[in-house]
């Protein structure tokens, strides 16, 4: 009974430290601002809000909560032990990297930077003798590489799962400047989740949990014999573009690549106990492997035939507004409207007159992504949106587009302040 009570007290302290952690609220604010920014882009380009930022934010928090449970079970079961100071450094480095680009609010980058700094500290341990460096140098010298790499590998396995679960349904339609000045429709898939994760932390024996553990545990650590439980906020996120693919198809490819990425990182984490050079490879793999998934994927998207551009066979659907008549009819992103009420459609400006040709009923012939014709029909009610809730690929009359330059935390906050002024 006494052991159970002490264990509950330790877990309670861990939960309390979670809600007093400033990074929890900082990450929540950043996630909200990013979703709101996406919605503002949609309003400026299409004069309509495609997604609700509050719904996206709440969904991300809820899914992050579920993901945190999965990560907690896996990290504890596998014996991944991390020191509290190293968790703090991960958050600090993530924040500093996000000051350059919000997409670097990812532990693949901060973990890579942290491990490279630790390699430098282990090579020059005398840096701990310098008073102003001691606070940082000491946790760097004692960094357990295998646990850090295994922890980040689990995070990216969960990222793959969460992306697949979302399936690109929250992707944001945008217009960008393509080749030779032609505007191109794209889908920006930008998702963030905040996961509360229980982690096993190495502590002095006097602060350890009053329970034992199997002799084989932990699998990924040699940090002492004292362990406790902490609850820590972890950010999981991914940003990519769907240009020549449907968002759902792009997500499937990215998720598969993230699984391979995680398994390689797991292998390197396990290999450290047999070969020290695996730690150096893993440190570079965390950064370069993750960056390659994003950059090569986007490069290939631009090299393939573009999907959201004018086509001779009809008008391409760039986005469908949720809960709209078009969504109820079964029209999907990437579909091509060919006929409305028997009238052939070749330009977005022809959609409204074709809809008005009959006042109460709408029949459509739609070419789907597989090349099959869908015959759709629906009663049109008074007051409904004249285009049924559809956003089309850009044409020669489109004027406005967004410049997908890197945005930092500082720029994001400045934009929010200016809009609120």
Residues 143 and 276 in one domain: yes
Predicted local confidence at residue 1, as pLDDT: 54
**What percent of the chain is modeled with pLDDT above 90?**
14
109 found inside a domain: yes
Residues 85 and 231 in one domain: yes
| 403 band by pLDDT with thresholds 50, 70 and 90 | low
- Count of structural domains within the chain: 2
Residues 261 and 327 in one domain: no
Q: Residue 360 pLDDT > 50, yes or no?
A: yes
Choose among 155, 330, 178: nearest CA to 234: 155
Residues 294 and 320 in one domain: no
Q: Residue 421 pLDDT > 50, yes or no?
A: no
402 found inside a domain: no
Q: What is the pLDDT of residues 69-109, one digit of tens each?
A: 888 888 888 878 877 788 888 888 988 888 888 778 888 89
412 found inside a domain: no
Q: What is the pLDDT of residues 114-157, one digit of tens each?
A: 999 888 888 888 777 777 777 788 888 878 888 889 889 999 99
139-148, 194-203, 208-217, 372-381 — which is least confidently predicted?
Answer: 208-217
413 found inside a domain: no
Residues 129 and 71 in one domain: yes
- CA 355 – CA 23 distance, rounded (Å): 51
- CA 236 – CA 195 distance, rounded (Å): 7
Which whole number is the average pLDDT over 383-396? 72
- Residue 362's domain comprises 315-392
Predicted local confidence at residue 209, as pLDDT: 53
Predicted local confidence at residue 239, as pLDDT: 84
β-sheet bridge partners, residue 233: 196
Which whole number is the average pLDDT over 178-191? 81
Residues 132 and 37 in one domain: yes
182-191, 218-227, 253-262, 296-305 — which is least confidently predicted?
Answer: 218-227
162 found inside a domain: yes
203 found inside a domain: yes
Q: What does 156-205 look like in DSSP terms, one character per residue?
A: HHHHHHHHHHHTTTT-EEEEEE-GGG-EEEEEEEEEEEEEEEEEEEE--G
Check: CB of residue 301 under 8 Å from CB of residue 241: yes
- List the strands of the sheet with 172-177, edge to edge: 172-177, 183-202, 227-242
Which whole number is the average pLDDT over 9-16? 70
Residues 253 and 284 in one domain: yes
Collapse the DSSP code of 289 into the 3-class scheme (helix H, G, I; strand E, B; otherwise coil) and give the result: helix
- Name the average pLDDT for the chain: 81
235 found inside a domain: yes
Residues 53 and 18 in one domain: yes
Q: What is the CA radius of gyration of the chain?
A: 25
Task: Give the pair of three-digit tokens for residue 109.
Answer: 């980058």
Q: Record the pTM.
A: 0.85
Q: Residue 416 pLDDT > 60, yes or no?
A: no
């Amino acid at each position: 009974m006494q052991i159970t009570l002490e264990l509950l007290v330790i877990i309670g302290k861990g939960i309390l430290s979670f809600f007093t952690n400033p990074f929890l609220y900082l990450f929540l604010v950043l996630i909200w601002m990013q979703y709101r920014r996406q919605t503002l882009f949609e309003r400026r380009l299409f004069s309509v809000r495609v997604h609700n930022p509050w719904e996206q934010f709440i969904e991300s928090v809820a899914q992050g909560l579920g993901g945190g449970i999965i990560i907690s079970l896996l990290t504890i079961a596998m014996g991944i032990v991390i020191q509290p100071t190293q968790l703090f450094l991960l958050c600090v480095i993530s924040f500093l990297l996000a000051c350059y680009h919000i997409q670097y609010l990812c532990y693949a980058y901060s973990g890579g930077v942290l491990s490279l700094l630790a390699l430098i500290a282990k090579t020059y341990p005398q840096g701990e003798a310098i008073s102003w460096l001691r606070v940082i140098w000491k946790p760097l010298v004692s960094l357990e590489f295998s646990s850090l790499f295994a922890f980040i590998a689990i995070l990216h396995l969960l990222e793959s799962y969460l992306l697949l679960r979302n399936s690109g349904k929250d992707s944001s339609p945008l217009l960008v400047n393509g080749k030779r000045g032609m505007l191109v429709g794209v889908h920006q898939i930008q998702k963030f989740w905040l996961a509360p994760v229980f982690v096993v932390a190495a502590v002095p024996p006097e602060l350890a949990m009053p329970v034992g553990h199997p002799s084989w545990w932990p699998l990924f650590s040699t940090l002492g014999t004292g362990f406790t439980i902490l609850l820590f906020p972890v950010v999981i996120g991914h940003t990519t573009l769907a240009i020549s693919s449907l968002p759902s198809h792009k997500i499937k490819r990215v998720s598969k690549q993230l699984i391979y990425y995680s398994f390689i990182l797991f292998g390197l984490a396990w290999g450290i106990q047999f070969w020290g050079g695996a730690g150096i490879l893993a440190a570079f793999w965390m950064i370069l492997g993750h960056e390659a998934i994003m950059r090569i994927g986007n490069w290939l998207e631009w090299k393939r035939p573009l999907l959201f551009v004018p086509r001779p066979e009809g008008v391409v659907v760039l986005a469908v507004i949720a809960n709209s008549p078009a969504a109820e009819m079964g029209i999907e992103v990437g579909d091509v409207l060919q006929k409305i009420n028997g009238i052939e459609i070749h330009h977005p400006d022809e959609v409204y007159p074709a809809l008005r040709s009959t006042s109460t009923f709408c029949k459509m012939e739609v070419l789907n992504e597989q090349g099959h014709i869908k015959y759709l029909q629906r009663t049109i009610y008074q007051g409904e949106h004249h285009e049924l809730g559809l956003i089309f690929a850009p044409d020669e009359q489109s004027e406005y587009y967004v410049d997908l330059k890197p945005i930092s935390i500082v720029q994001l906050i400045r934009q929010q302040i200016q809009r609120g002024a």
